[in-house]
Amino acid sequence: MEPGLSWRIVSDGALSGAANMARDHALAQALRPGTGTVRFYRWSPATLSLGRNEPVTARYRDFLRLHPEIGVVRRPTGGRAVIHDRELTYAAVLPARACGGPRQAYRKVNEGLVQGLRLLGVDAVAAAGRALPPDAGPCFLEPAEGEVVVRGRKLVGSAQVRIGGAVLQHGSVLLRSDQTALLEGMQGNGASTLGNGSRGGQRDAPTHAITLTEVLGEAPGWERLVDAFSHGFARALGGDWAQGALTDEERTLATELQDRYGSATWTWRRTRQG
């Protein structure tokens, strides 16, 4: 890791899928040497995000038809589909060589997530897992190597990409939204519900995912979450840390990139029939 990396913490409001992906991309594209940024944010409306190279199957299209209230966006990163709803999303941007390369950066960022969760009283660990292909189905079906799990079930899903001289890694910390609707949709069950994993007032059997509400009884407030994860990342990544905001350059880049992430050409560029 580069000594003396100066880190900025950005806490954002709820934005659309295209706006969120454009901001993450802009942070990576505009990264200055010797600096890093961690951004925390939310989504409005709830949004299905697809991995950069993930095929859009008929089941995903059927799921979106069943849930017209849910937006859709394709990420700049790899990985697999996630419903972003009632979660904390993080984005970590750092120089590609800061931790010895993207793979080592992935481990360090996940270590920061584990440290932050432990500050919240959650006994989280990094999964042994395995590498998963883009067409392996929704993100929270199975933890990939290094992802964060609690009681053997996935709590945080993450994905990464290199943009120029920067690494961007972002992911979802599930607060109350446990991906049940998406998992049921992939099983061909039209009676899916968004977010709470229940039907007819009865709780379903445990899914592949777990939420902070399930672990702690209730999800901590936003400020407490940001504080815990900020300290977790600082412990894992070192360097100097301070609160900050997007620069004028980053905002301009994000505005330009939002057209790309909001375009049908980008979103549906990998569509599989059947």
Which one from 81, 117, 139, 150 is the annotated catalytic residue? 139
Distance CA 182, CA 57 (A): 13
Residue from 40, 32, 145, 149 nearest 98 by CA: 32
Distance CA 72, CA 84 (A): 10
Which residues have CB under 8 Å from 252's CB, separation 6+? none
250 class by beta-carbon count within 10 Å (0-12 exposed, 13-18 middle, 19+ buried): buried
Q: Is 99 in the active site?
A: no
Distance CA 230, CA 38 (A): 8
Active-site residue set: 139
